[in-house]
Amino acid sequence: MQVIYLDILLIFNLYMNYLLLSMTARMTHTRLVFWRGLLGAGAGSLSSLLLFLPQLPMLFLTGCRLLTALLICLAAFGRNRLLRNSLCFFGVSFLTAGGLFALSACSEIAGMHQNGCYYFDISLPQLAAFTIITYFILSVIQFFYDKNKFSDQAYQISVRYRQQTASLEGLADTGNSLTDFYTGKPVIICDKILLGDMARPEHSHMIPYLTVAGSGILEVFQPDEVCILPEHGTAKAVDALIGIGTQENGKAIFNPKLMRF
């Protein structure tokens, strides 16, 4: 009979739930504030105590897991796009559980599964290796998904700020991973000449950037509305900042993950 240590159970599940929330935030492009992520992960960690109960009916457990996912995502992300975040969190949890079982089978890690909860007697190096591999696989999947689905289309980007509007050609580029560290929002880099009067916003701030061509400081501001219209599809309103730069091709460069959800 396997001995279960309560502290290891709670700490392991706290870590795994925060990792799952981080993956969900990355896939759905939702900002994850550390303390809210910790709150959601803590709620998920407490739910692992179901491991000590007798085997419960499958239908009841499914309802509990779905409700738990909703509560975790509500604590971590708030009510905005709650259903989308919860479904993504549930899917990522399912895939990660499969990865943990594969890891335990290959390395003979002692583990236990009961009522949808998991306990693995895993060392810190093994856990670190699993985290790195998981993020690497996720990054590769995201890269090819974004590149194949969005990069070959033509886009039109409409920006509205105060009484000014501007329409620019858009370019989906996975190389633009620029994110504002104040708000956690992605940045669409636009040519200041094409922005016109909008290139002199009332409220803006500076953020550093780093590219293969060099580094520098970029002025960004929050527009009132940004819509991206793909060549094949419907217009999508996105929550992004506008970076005022100088583009040789005159196109607004955005990360294609903005079009995913």
C-alpha dihedral (5, 8, 14, 18), degrees to nearest 10: -140
- For 252, residues 6+ apart whose C-beta sits below 8 A from its C-beta are 157, 159, 168, 169, 170, 171, 188, 189, 190, 191, 194
Q: Among the listed ranges 10-24, 102-116, 129-143, 186-200, which one has the minimum average pLDDT value? A: 102-116
Strands (E), 97-186: 111-114, 117-120, 155-161, 164-172
Residue 158's pLDDT is 94
Q: Flag whether pLDDT at 73 surpasses 80.
A: yes
pLDDT at 109 over 50: yes
Sorted by sequence, the CB contacts under 8 Å of residue 16 that are 6+ apart come out as 96
Average of per-residue pLDDT values in the chain: 79
Handedness of CA 84, 87, 89, 92 (dihedral sign): negative
Distance (Å) of CA 185 to CA 106, 108, 116, 120? 40, 42, 34, 36
Query: Going along the chain, which residue ranges are E strands?
Result: 111-114, 117-120, 155-161, 164-172, 187-191, 205-211, 214-221, 225-230, 236-237, 241-245, 252-254
Q: Residue 187: what pLDDT?
A: 93
Which of the pair, 114 or 97, is modelled with greater confidence? 97
Q: 171-209, pLDDT tens digit by residue?
A: 888 778 888 888 888 999 999 998 988 888 988 999 998
Average pLDDT of span 100-110: 60
Judge whether residue 114 has pLDDT over 70. no
Contact 186, 240 (CB under 8 A): yes
The pLDDT of residue 1: 46
d(CA 238, CA 172): 14
Could you tell me the pTM of the whole model? Answer: 0.56
pLDDT band at 125 (very low <50, low <70, confident <90, very high): confident
> Is the per-residue pLDDT at 244 higher than 90?
yes
Whether CATH 2.40.70 fits 155-259: yes
The pLDDT > 70 percentage for the chain reads 76
Domain positions in the chain are 6-149, 155-259
